[in-house]
Structure 1
């Protein structure tokens, strides 16, 4: 009995040490100086799962800093083109709208776990009433937020340092408006393998620093991994990008990196 108790205590100690004391591969990037958000923050993931893979911990921090009423997530693409739908016979014959709906089941569940208000989730395919990617509507949405809210941090994908062409186009929408001085504060999601391209003083590093935040981001990630037939969630996000999910889940700090450059 004593051995079991000792093992349990040791297990708890190990978990605490991992969460709070282990330096990960990201540590070399941490400049320890995070630029504050404006009064409102809007994230623009291109696809379902981008928001948590590249910005999960940043979203949690934005909510802490600005309040849940002032953090928004705007989904730019319907996400229906993911290869999972082509490769898995389970999805044979379903139309594009159904593919989008299944992906959004995971997306909405993830954002709920992160603490984003339902009313602050904007899906551009629904706004446009047609499927596809909506870069023009993304631009209008950015400008509308600027006009309506005034003090806004906008976060999109990086316009140059990303291996996905749709991500780069997404970032180019925001970069263009930033270069034209139509937005005051533009920042960009960074994938870990591109971080070295960004100067140290232009990187904002977000790491979980307590168990509550760790569990929040981890549970959000798992909404893309867990299969829940009752709620029509089939692990589509994880299946389509499992290497990215595994990399992040193996990081005890669940790090998000934003470029301000």
Structure 2
């Protein structure tokens, strides 16, 4: 009996002694480790934190993404096998830059695909250096603006003459990055300008390509708004290519604008992204073209503070031109997607009739009838934004100084 008790005691002691070793091994496996960013063509430096052998879990390389090249000065991809890795990057940019910003390409879930500003970043103009923190990897671009912007004279079109149709009150010109921004973020302002007797001109400056909605419609990914995954064959339509997708989006835009009250002849499709690029100078030139045609016009664009690069570029174009006295009246509108982040400016609220027109414009974007190539693209793309807007129909606007 004593021998049995002794054996049990020995086994207990051995198991007790091995427990700390197990604990230490377990703790070591979860300890955060750091690795340096490897040498690369962009001279980006920094560290990566994570668990395990971090250095083998990521690489930095050129990106093959071409669909949304927007005048970037730098584009790269961080390829990662561990989405929990945290990257602290130091990114050198062009000398004498007035401003430099880093954006990440996002195309997942049911939000519109595009480049969106990385929130955790700072720019040191003296060192020409962006410091940014990102998680999980992805495709990134860096956009810079020169310290001395190009002169208005160098950008202004030479052939545009003032229109003979100009009335005593210049029009309000709304520059739209996507087919739905006019309803989601500018609808109140558009209806109020129209009700005040102002002529409203809407200028779409991209083709709207690159939206995740195109993949949803082609049955490549599902949609919680739709309640499943589309099957074009059984639903009676063919695969939707880029041209057909843009045409369908343009039809939604035109119908929505006419519900707001904009004349068909005042809806201008001016795609600046046909070659896959969209630059600040191109947008400035577009604005100056309309300013020459309609001297003293009111110019409206999305806010330069918006997270989406295609939004922010038009806002920055107005701010620069206003500061250079190339235009005399400018207002910026915050994307419904950025309301909780961008709080500058003031809130604009519609009257009952204006709100009703905005609701009807929103209905256009959920119309589903493939037989006439109506695909509810707006709601497939950003239904949460439509729901948010309809629950509280307001616009947030601000001045170039804000």
TM-score (norm. length: structure 1): 0.74
Partner of 1:206: 348
The structure-2 alpha-carbon separation of the partners of 1:256 and 1:50, relative to structure 1 and needing over 3 Å to count, comes to same
Distance in structure 2 (CA, Å) of the matches to 1:133 and 1:234: 26
SS in 2 for 1:81: coil
Structure 1 unaligned segments of length 5 or more: list them. Answer: 1-37
Distance in structure 1 (CA, Å) of the matches to 2:215 and 2:372: 22
Larger radius of gyration: 2
Distance in structure 2 (CA, Å) of the matches to 1:60 and 1:97: 30
Distance in structure 1 (CA, Å) of the matches to 2:331 and 2:309: 18
Partner of 1:12: none
RMSD value, Cα: 2.2
Distance in structure 1 (CA, Å) of the matches to 2:375 and 2:239: 16
- Give a deviation string over 1:137-182, Cα, whole Å, max 9, x none: 53233112222222211111111x2121221122222222122110
Of 177, 184, 209, which aligns to 1:80?
A: 209
Distance in structure 2 (CA, Å) of the matches to 1:123 and 1:132: 16
Structure whose residues are more often helix by fraction: 1
2:264 is the alignment partner of 1:118: yes
Structure 2 unaligned segments of length 5 or more: list them. Answer: 1-168, 220-231
Q: How many residues align?
A: 211
The structure-2 alpha-carbon separation of the partners of 1:138 and 1:120, relative to structure 1 and needing over 3 Å to count, comes to farther
- Give a deviation string over 1:7-49, Cα, whole Å, max 9, x none: xxxxxxxxxxxxxxxxxxxxxxxxxxxxxxx732011110110
Of 175, 178, 193, which aligns to 2:319?
A: 175
- Give a deviation string over 1:26-81, Cα, whole Å, max 9, x none: xxxxxxxxxxxx732011110110111001111000111133xx211001110021
Partner of 1:62: 193
- Give a deviation string over 1:91-111, Cα, whole Å, max 9, x none: 874332111101111111101
2:322 is the alignment partner of 1:193: no
Cα deviation, residue 213, structure 1:
1.9
Of 112, 118, 142, which aligns to 2:287?
A: 142
Distance in structure 2 (CA, Å) of the matches to 1:129 and 1:156: 17
Cα deviation, residue 134, structure 1:
4.8
SS in 2 for 1:48: coil
Of 30, 33, 52, which aligns to 2:183?
A: 52
Distance in structure 2 (CA, Å) of the matches to 1:92 and 1:177: 44
Cα deviation, residue 132, structure 1:
4.6
Partner of 2:243: 97
SS in 1 for 2:366: coil
TM-score (norm. length: structure 2): 0.49
Cα deviation, residue 124, structure 1:
1.0
Of 136, 156, 159, which aligns to 2:301?
A: 156
- Give a deviation string over 1:187-242, Cα, whole Å, max 9, x none: 1111322342x1xxx42x321222x2222110001111121334321111111111
2:360 is the alignment partner of 1:219: yes
Q: Higher relative contact order by CA 8 Å / sep ≥ 6: 1 or 2?
A: 1
Distance in structure 2 (CA, Å) of the matches to 1:194 and 1:60: 25
Distance in structure 2 (CA, Å) of the matches to 1:178 and 1:232: 40
Preserved contact between residue 365 and residue 377 of structure 2 (Cα < 8 Å)? yes
